[in-house]
Amino acid sequence: MKNIVPVKWLLARLYEPDIVIVDCRFQLGNSNSGREAYEESHIPGAVYLDLEKDLSSPIGEHGGRHPLPDIAELAARLSQVGISNESRVVAYDDQGGAMASRLWWLLKYLGHEAVYVLEEGFGAWKKAGLITTADQKVLIPGRFLATVKHNMLAEVDDVRESLGKAGVTLVDSREAPRYRGEAEPIDRVAGHIPGARNFFWAEGRRPDGTWKSADEHRERFAGLEQDDEIIVYCGSGVTATPNVLALEEAGFTRVRLYAGSWSDWISYEGNGVAVGDEKNQ
């Protein structure tokens, strides 16, 4: 696996000077819980980045519930916590990789390749009996310069233009009932973008919480063409990122994130809404 590292990998490199460990724990609906958990106990040397304060912009009329952060502000924040262009970054959470994958994607989008998600997250570290601490690292600023990879991002106009277009597939990463429009606990409209196929992001992991292998991901994404352009979305652009990671593991090379996702899509009048299952259509 190119993007996932096990606890033993991180343990062996814990004190290497170019390693920056980032705690990304966050609970939707309880925005302080992640920082509180970090302050109580974290992997030694880890710094904390907050999904909403650091890895998103404020909510506006459009852009969804977690708009992408301003690039200059994010680069400055990354520098502030000690991340430079030479750093190897390991992100973790306790939500199956969903929040850590957001940082993974953002760093890739900013041109930084040496970024990894810790397999099974903080829970695996604790389960292994490894040391945790409440001590916070003295921050020594780095110098992070962004080189944005615009081809990794899809905007709402790109998604509109893709509808019904040969060679482009939309992947909805939400749970099946939300995709089908049977339930919608968060957003004001239920359903999915017309033509999208449903691959729930959490199915990229095995029942024990470990990430599936590249072969298992290829089997999971059977029916998607390797040469096609894949546009991935979820509710707000966060839990789509584990699917982007899984698609990359499976060898797909033309994968884009619709960062605004469903919550952005429904903020525009006239955008189509579909319900039901399109897997076999």
Reported confidence tier of residue 279, pLDDT bands at 50, 70, 90? low
| pLDDT given for residue 278 in this prediction | 82
| pLDDT given for residue 281 in this prediction | 40
| pLDDT given for residue 171 in this prediction | 98
CATH number of 151-265: 3.40.250.10
Residues 259 and 62 sit within 8 Å (Cβ to Cβ): no
Reported confidence tier of residue 162, pLDDT bands at 50, 70, 90? very high
Output the average pLDDT for the chain. 95
Q: Do domains 4-127 and 151-265 have the same CATH topology?
A: yes
| pLDDT given for residue 224 in this prediction | 94
Q: Is the pLDDT of residue 280 over 80?
A: no
Query: CA of 83: how far to CAs of 134, 173, 241, 273, in Å?
Result: 21, 29, 21, 41
> Which tokens hold the place of 22?
């980032």
Residues with catalytic function: 234
Q: What does the domain layout of the chain look like in residue ranges?
A: 4-127, 151-265
Sign of the alpha-carbon torsion through 72, 73, 74, 76: positive
Give per-residue pLDDT as tens, 107-137.
999 999 999 999 999 999 999 999 999 999 8
Q: What is the pTM of this model?
A: 0.96
Give per-residue pLDDT as tens, 74-108.
999 999 999 999 999 999 999 999 999 999 999 99
Q: Is the pLDDT of residue 28 over 90?
A: no
Quick one: 4-127 is in which CATH superfamily?
Answer: Rhodanese-like domain (3.40.250.10)
